[in-house]
Amino acid sequence: MIPVQGYDGQKVAVLGLGRSGLATAAALEAGGAEPVCWDDSPEGRARAEAAGYACRDLTRPDAFDAIAALVVSPGIPHLYPKPNPVIAAAMAAGVPVDNDIGLFFRSWASAAFASYDSVPRTICVTGSNGKSTTTALIHHILREDGRPTQMAGNIGRGVLDLDPPEEGEVVVLELSSYQTDLARALTPDIAVFTNLSPDHLDRHGGMGGYFAAKRRLFAEGGPDRAVIGVDEPEGVYLANQIMMGRNDDRLIRVSSARKLGDWGWSVFARKGFLSEWRKGRQIASIDLREVTGLPGAHNHQNACAAYAATRALGVAPRVIEAAFHSFAGLPHRSQTVAEKRGIRWVNDSKATNVDSAAKALEAFSNIRWIAGGLGKDGGAGALSGHLGAVRKAYFIGHSARDFALELAPLEHEICETMEAAVAACARDAEAGDTVLLAPAAASFDQYPNFEKRGEHFTALVEALPG
């Protein structure tokens, strides 16, 4: 646990009592504060009370009397589409609002750091797609290099639930826009921006607000080194804002779309090969085509970002290359779950939007595509230009018929359920085909989350005859 500093003897309100909220309450208590908890659901309040924390109805007019700060869980809106009433009341009362990420950065350094020869460091990863894979890959490379490391944030543990860092340790955090948007302190040693595509626009008041939330990771405190994906205009802009000149190697540009120019430091992937360039000459190259845990151009972008971040810490290219090959990938993200009768079955249930589904569709050939669920604004029509490898689609869920209309004349079958789709793919697929679950839709019409959807797909595939 990371004890929260700066609130000793003070009352701090905690809104939202899920995993991060309860970890925040414990870390506040460990730092000498008195957590005052609230959740809109009786179940959340019951969890807090069972853990020994006092609950106070933060919707009462006098709720923020003698409260030093309000700490908010990431899923609770504080500005758009409209502020949660509790947050609005705290702001009206002049109470500072923060989240666990902000508390982590204000409390990360301890007195023990003064005795370390090698001070612990933090790497933070943000962006629209690929954050989890990039974060996990960085963590894996560091472990393979023998370095002490922990992983947390939007993946794995809550940040305040981490163990106090040991000498030379590197903590790798995945941060969503919900987490970067409100944190009052953001001071990573290395910050990574993967890419940007439309998502969570209602929460951020549009694309500009969404990008602004991501940009805060690079603007609030300023990392010692930044790794920026420059395949979208926002990444190009962000890189330009950070750099002091073309040869400024505090910035590492990353691309999976093109060879980068004569910059101070860049890492890019072309035709399946990763290249590192510094000051106009190539330093290293890695063949990514046979790295089974990182298929497709979108994963090659993740590989470039992870390579750049770990090279910035001095990890050798040969160590990184070996770690690429031993990386198994993450569940629900272009995850090969089985190969039966020459057919590859891939679970990319995390592809919940059009952009991430498009990247998955471009990563494989001879695709039997399972898609659908609870469609998002804009529909699936934007995928029309990414269907060249699709032999047939099998649509499920609430948006099945909408997808069929929007993607006509693609050959398809309306399956409705995952069971029917997997059975139809097993009936139709031939050796050399890839059955790809890349829904391009949310899961909430049939499943509580994308993980359960992917687990159901995997279980059905595993039950098929070999």
Q: Is residue 191 located within the same domain as residue 285?
A: yes
For 321, the token pair is 């290359």
Residue at which a domain ends, from 44, 66, 98 = 98
pLDDT value of position 403:
97
Q: Is residue 91 located within the same domain as residue 184?
A: no
What CATH number is attached to the domain comprising 418? 3.90.190.20
Nearest CA to 36 out of 94, 90, 101, 107 is that of: 90
Q: Is residue 162 located within the same domain as residue 15?
A: no
pLDDT value of position 292:
86
Helix, coil or strand: residue 82: coil
Q: Is residue 301 located within the same domain as residue 161?
A: yes
Bridge partners, 226 (sequence order): 191, 251
pLDDT value of position 425:
98
Helices and strands (H and E) in the chain: how many: 15, 20
Residue 5 falls inside a structural domain? no
Residue 148 falls inside a structural domain? yes
Q: Is residue 339 located within the same domain as residue 384?
A: yes
Sequence-separated (6 or more) residues with CB below 8 Å from residue 427:
none
Show binding-site residues for ATP.
127-133
One-letter amino acid for residue 451 of the chain: E
What CATH number is attached to the domain comprising 151? 3.40.1190.10
Q: Is residue 227 located within the same domain as residue 254?
A: yes
CA–CA separation, 270 and 293 (whole Å):
18
Residue 198: asked if its preceding bond is cis (omega within 30°), the reply is no
Kindly tell me the burial class for residue 209, based on how many C-beta atoms sit within 10 Å of its own C-beta (0-12, 13-18, 19 or more): middle
Residue at which a domain ends, from 267, 298, 326 = 326
User: How would DSSP label each residue in 119-181?
Assistant: --EEEEEESSSSHHHHHHHHHHHHHHTT--EEEEESSSB-GGGSPPPPTT-EEEEE--HHHHH
Residue 4 falls inside a structural domain? no
Q: Range of 204's domain?
A: 108-326
Distance of CA 288 to the CA centre of its chain: 22
Backbone angles phi, psi at 129, to 5 degrees: -125, 145
Residue 2 falls inside a structural domain? no
Residue 409 falls inside a structural domain? yes
Q: Is residue 432 located within the same domain as residue 300?
A: no
User: How would DSSP label each residue in 318-368?
Assistant: HHHHHHHHH----TTSSEEEEEETTEEEEE-TT--SHHHHHHHHTS-SSEE
Q: Is residue 312 located within the same domain as residue 361?
A: no
Q: Is residue 288 located within the same domain as residue 165?
A: yes
User: How many other CB atoms are found less than 10 A from the CB of residue 330?
Assistant: 16
Residue at which a domain ends, from 326, 344, 364 = 326
- Domains: count for the chain: 3
Show binding-site residues.
127-133
CA–CA separation, 448 and 450 (whole Å):
7
The half-sphere exposure of 410 on its side-chain side, counting CA atoms within 13 A, is: 30
- Intra-chain end-to-end CA distance of the chain, in Å: 46
Residue 93 falls inside a structural domain? yes
Q: Is residue 234 located within the same domain as residue 305?
A: yes
CA–CA separation, 326 and 307 (whole Å):
14
Q: Is residue 63 located within the same domain as residue 120?
A: no
What CATH number is attached to the domain comprising 80? 3.40.50.720
Residue 1 falls inside a structural domain? no
- pLDDT tens digits in sequence order for the chain, 466 residues long: 999 999 999 999 999 998 889 999 999 999 999 999 999 999 999 999 999 998 999 999 999 999 999 999 998 999 999 999 999 999 999 999 999 999 999 999 988 899 999 999 999 999 998 899 999 999 999 999 999 999 999 888 899 999 999 999 999 999 999 999 999 999 999 999 999 988 888 999 999 999 999 999 999 888 999 999 999 999 999 999 999 988 899 999 999 989 997 899 999 999 999 999 998 899 999 999 989 889 888 899 999 999 999 999 999 999 999 999 999 888 898 889 999 999 999 999 999 989 889 989 999 999 999 999 999 888 999 999 999 999 999 999 999 999 999 999 999 999 999 999 999 999 999 999 999 999 999 999 999 999 999 999 999 999 999 8
Residue 3 falls inside a structural domain? no
Q: Is residue 286 located within the same domain as residue 190?
A: yes
